[in-house]
A and B are shown apart, each in its own frame.
Chain A
């Protein structure tokens, strides 16, 4: 056990959100300690798991080659069924063949690699210690307690997952809403059998998703890995109780459906897993993501987008939490007043604005789904830090079909020009802001 009394920042949880936060903080030279309750990073985590890489690419360029990933997902199959029919539709995206967007992966392999990258950047990791309580000083979080130790910090970042202790002890925990129980299995199949049955090219993979005809509200997902298939069944916990149905028995029922049986016949069970999940269909309440001396990211802050993908938003929120901590360190103020800039940092990314634009659920989802399919990359391109208006995307994908030729060139020209100007303005603003902070630091040092 490394003997440390006080550090600048404690991150609770070494999952994607915590590791991303620690990585960015360490790169910025801020002292950070990550606490993970598992003895090995990733052993407590469960996810589908398909990783959309653009967010990670921003933090670790070349991650598609460096990270331990399974197959390049180029096809997205959707199941639609009723008591009268069963339909599978398949969408193959040509561009993903040479320029992959997403990969299947295992949390037990990805999380340790990602945490190691944070450690290489300079973050300290303490594994096998569970945070049981927080230390307060007049409503401000000043440290954490584990089963064996106490550790103090200027700010605590809670990235400890869906049943977050940090969220609970600070009172930032929200009503979970509809809770889903996921039961999941990793099923072994030889690679050539997977290629043949799922009709895949070498190295490519697919996802199969849809709601099955069961007595409970559910979502079935299958992802092809190199030599196995991950199969998950999400059920609404309340429905399971009302119907007195056991999720693991329903999973067997789903696996024996003729279509899935034809894909999975002869597969042996490698590992069984279970986890809780919430799918966020409500606009997030920003005031419940930060407090005095504390920030929440990832599932601890209920930061999951409306399609249930958790890891890219978690990584994004971890990175923005790190930016907020850096600002707090520069201002030497760790109260809500400075930490509320977390929301501004998140809001400045196109990913966040597209995911959590509030109050426009009906019809909006269809537009977003369409944009997502046509331009996955732009949706996840949050490297543009300036506000990225959604209507620009809508215009280019849909609106331009309805404008006369000459008018389209005027509108498109103006949109590109205004985008360029605002990006230039933000870059100049950033340069001058950094210079101001450096000057202030020098000035204070001389005093």
Chain B
């Protein structure tokens, strides 16, 4: 590792254009998350949209910063994630792809 700046996920996400929909396109049944031992969503999301609140012992999830990769739906062990693409042209807008 060098002394050069290592980019954080927030710095990376700042380069992504997203049109936020009023409606959430991913809904998580947070009551199931307390029972989950693995919590792979915390590791796998490339935008770190899933975070764990230690104090409240609950999942914090933001659909607004979603890159629409679809990985979270596939790896959730408790099927707590209802996943779909955002509607009406909302969501991520990659300029270069």
Are the CB atoms of A39 and B44 closer together than 8 Å?
A: no
Are the CB atoms of A130 and B85 closer together than 8 Å?
A: yes
Are the CB atoms of A261 and B92 closer together than 8 Å?
A: no
A272-B16 in contact given A43-B94, A108-B96, A181-B46 (Cβ < 8 Å): yes
Interface size grouping (class) on chain B: 35 or more
Are the CB atoms of A272 and B97 closer together than 8 Å?
A: no
Assembled-state Cα–Cα distance A251/B92 (Å)? 21
Q: Which of A199-207, A240-248, A283-291, A349-357 forms part of the interface with chain B? A: A240-248
Shortest beta-carbon distance from A76 to chain B in Å: 22
Assembled-state Cα–Cα distance A43/B86 (Å)? 13
B43 at the binding interface (Cβ < 8 Å): yes
Are the CB atoms of B95 and A108 closer together than 8 Å?
A: yes
Assembled-state Cα–Cα distance A50/B58 (Å)? 43
Shortest beta-carbon distance from A402 to chain B in Å: 47
Q: Give a binary string over B11-42; 1 marks a CB under 8 Å from any A CB, 0 the rest.
A: 11101100100000000000000000010100
Task: Select which of A47, A108, A253, A265 is within 8 A of B1 by beta carbon.
Answer: A253
A108-B89 in contact given A241-B75, A253-B1, A276-B70 (Cβ < 8 Å): no
Tell me which residues across on chain B come within 8 A of A274, comparing CB atoms: 46-47, 67, 69
A240-B97 in contact given A256-B6, A271-B15, A272-B16 (Cβ < 8 Å): no
Shortest beta-carbon distance from B47 to chain A in Å: 7
A129 at the binding interface (Cβ < 8 Å): yes
> Nearest B residue to A180 by beta-carbon distance?
B71
Assembled-state Cα–Cα distance A181/B43 (Å)? 12
Are the CB atoms of B95 and A271 closer together than 8 Å?
A: yes
Tell me which residues across on chain A come within 8 A of B74, comparing CB atoms: 176, 179, 237, 276
> Nearest A residue to B46 by beta-carbon distance?
A274
Shortest beta-carbon distance from A9 to chain B in Å: 22
> Nearest B residue to A252 by beta-carbon distance?
B6
Which B positions have Cβ atoms within 8 angstroms of A? 1-2, 4, 6-7, 9, 11-13, 15-16, 19, 38, 40, 43-44, 46-48, 67-71, 73-75, 84-89, 91-97
- In the assembled complex, 29 residue pairs joining A and B whose CB atoms fall closer than 8 Å, in A order, are A38-B89, A42-B97, A46-B97, A49-B97, A106-B97, A107-B96, A163-B85, A176-B74, A181-B71, A241-B43, A241-B75, A244-B43, A247-B44, A248-B48, A253-B1, A256-B1, A256-B2, A256-B4, A269-B7, A269-B11, A269-B12, A270-B15, A270-B96, A271-B15, A272-B15, A272-B16, A274-B47, A274-B67, A275-B67
Which 9 pairs across A and B sit closest by C-beta, in order of nearness? A107-B97, A128-B89, A39-B89, A274-B46, A272-B12, A108-B97, A241-B40, A274-B67, A43-B93
Q: 4 extra interchain contacts, Cβ-Cβ under 8 A, other than A47-B97, A182-B69?
A: A39-B89, A130-B88, A147-B87, A237-B71
